[in-house]
Structure 1
Amino acid sequence: MSLELIQKGVDCCRNNAYEKGIEFFNSALKEYPDHIEALYNRARAYSKVDELEKSLNDFKRLVEIQPLNPSFIGDYAVALHLNNKNDEASIQFEKALQLEPENPYRYSSRAFFKDRIGDHEGALLDYDKAIALDPEDAIAINNRGLVEEKLGYAERAKKSFEKSNDLVGYKPDVEKEIKPEPKIEPPKASATKAEVLKTLLTKDGLKDFGKFTANLFKPKK
């Protein structure tokens, strides 16, 4: 019965009916309070309706159940950040990275977090590590360029943007250089929490800006 309720909740969320989806997840969790899939999906749904403290509580419970799951820890770190608990978030980002030291996404997500809290030099170091592990990650390279711009490294930023453009197949029209080259910008410090969630709260967050697909509604293993 709980699996049916979860599936109904997932279907609701795919149709942007997050409140209704939460009701189904609540019903499933009444039967099985620590059901991983129900908790994970409810945490995601809460984030979509700006119930960020409730989302945080669900991600915290997931980490308590699976304390060595780097995906849950990474999402918990994001939830902490969105609840203005940056010191705790920093610890959790580090834990996720220690569990997956060869995963470039761990460095990219921590870099994005560091950039948002004003640690631009730290963000740059993390982007460098992410790119060393995945030299063809165009968005990480582009985002590194944005940080380089903030630090005043104009030539380095230009090279990062050019490399990112090459990887995605974008070629500026040299005869019509009226418009600046497009950049894939992350949310600025004043961005809404929803925009940050789109960028970080998925395993492929820096590449897929938060669509609720079937894969996103499966708990991360």
Structure 2
Amino acid sequence: MDDHLQNVKGDLLCLNHRFLILLMIRLRCCVLLFVAGSCSHKPVAQLVEEGEEATGKKAIRLYTQALANEPTNVRALWRRGDEYAKTDQPEKALADFTQAIALEPTYNAGYLFGDRGEVLEATNHLPEAIRDYTTALAVCRRTLSPSLPSTPMENFYFYRGRARLKAGDTTAARVDTDSAIYYYPKFPRAHFQRARLAVIRREYDQALADYEVGNLGPNSMEFPDYADDFFYLGLLKFNRQDTSYCTCWAAAARYNQQQAKAYLAKYCNAGGRKGQKR
């Protein structure tokens, strides 16, 4: 009898032990489900705000979660499109911008068209990009200030001028670039673009004046966006017999600017006409 009781007690202890293990597992699952449920039920506005504070994959994930709850949220589509563009996913970016435009074409003063235009320009769809920049100009707000940008007016003129320059229409590019400077007189990149156009037309005094206003100098060499500007500044110096042109071309070549690489090889390497930094 005593042995039987001992066996029964042992069985009960084993059952209790198993029960406790199962209970702990179920409690853990409940906690995980609660946390997951809490995350999935965040307000859409909060998800979008958190996305704007994040970057890359995390931002895209937050915007996607917001859109799962509210597929017609134009802000989330616009922001996710920007993140897709930044992470080299142009097709997904274009899809988001296009969907957002279909929902609310005048959202955020034209930036939906402007941002889609930038993706189209980056993928060499220049006529389509120019069309989007033109639409952006038609719907954005027009303001004037003697010293501050009129955002986004000057940006859209600058972008359209840049696309027209890439397309080879230097006359229209100059008109747009002048307009960008009109709406924001201190716009450095617009001055650099106008300087580039002046170098192409061999108007070197005008080009030099714009480079000076924009203050293109050594501090700008750290940024790949200025690679083309340094190439044309070097070309200006070359034609004005300023021997520091090799320094400009070296700055452009650092970011794989092909014309700068060719000019460095021809004029700045051993055996060529070598320019020295002043």
Distance in structure 2 (CA, Å) of the matches to 1:19 and 1:121: 41
Structure 2: unaligned runs, 5 residues or longer: 1-41, 143-152, 217-241, 259-278
Aligned partner of 2:102 among 64, 69, 88: 64
Compute the displacement of 1:59 (Å): 0.9
Give the Å deviation of 1:52: 0.6
Aligned-partner residue type, residue 66 of structure 2 = A
Q: In structure 2, which of residues 47, 50, 65 is the aligned counterpart of residue 27 of structure 1?
A: 65
TM-score by length of 2: 0.55
Q: Which residue of 2 aligns with 1:75?
A: 115
Higher relative contact order (CA 8 A, sep 6+): 1
Separation (CA, whole Å) in 2 of partners of 1:60 and 1:34:
12
CA contact (8 A) 1:40 1:58 kept: yes
Q: Quote the residue 2:230 is aligned against.
A: none
Higher-Rg member (1/2):
2
Q: Structure 1 length normalisation: TM-score?
A: 0.67
- Residue 88 of structure 2 aligns to which amino acid in structure 1? D
Asked if structure 2 preserves the Cα contact closer than 8 Å seen for 1:56 and 1:79, the reply is yes
Displacement of 1:8 in angstroms is 3.6
Distance 1:74 1:189, change over 3 A: farther
The answer for the alignment partner of 2:124 in structure 1 is 84
In the alignment, the residues of structure 2 paired with residue 144 and residue 32 of structure 1 have an alpha-carbon distance, to the nearest angstrom, of 44
- Measure the CA separation in 2 of the matches of 1:85 and 1:106: 16
Q: 1:189: Cα distance to partner? A: 8.2
Amino acid at match of 1:41: R
Map residues 33-44 of structure 1 onto 2, 5 A cutoff: 33-44=71-82
Q: What does residue 159 of structure 2 align with? A: 109
Q: Give yes or no for contact 1:63–1:73 (8 Å, CA) kept in 2.
A: yes
Structure 2 CA distance for aligned equivalents of residues 75 and 109 of structure 1: 10
Amino acid in the other structure paired with 1:35: N
Q: Within the alignment, does 1:126 sit opposite 2:176 as a pair?
A: yes
Aligned equivalent of 1:6, options 35, 44, 48? 48
Which of the residues 122, 132, 135 maps onto 1:95?
135
Aligned to 1:46: 84
Q: Given the superposition, is the C-alpha separation of residues 182 and 46 from structure 1 closer, same or farther in structure 2, using an over 3 Å criterion?
A: same
Aligned-residue sequence identity (percent) comes to 24
1:161 aligns with 2:215: no
Indicate the RMSD between aligned Cα atoms, in angstroms: 3.1
Deviation at 1:49, TM superposition (A): 1.6
Match for residue 196 of structure 1?
none
Deviation at 1:101, TM superposition (A): 7.7
Name the aligned partner's letter for residue 105 of structure 2.
P
Q: Distance in 2 between matches of 1:74 and 1:146?
A: 23
Change (3 A) 1:112 1:61: same
Distance across 2 between alignment mates of 1:178 and 1:164? 21
Greater share of helix:
2
Quick check: 2:74–2:104 contact (8 Å CA) kept in 1?
no
Whether the 8 Å contact between 2:121 and 2:129 is mirrored in structure 1 is yes
Structure-2 change in CA distance of 1:85 and 1:142 (3 Å): closer
Which letter maps to 2:70? Y
What is the distance in 2 between the residues matched to 1:64 and 1:78? 18
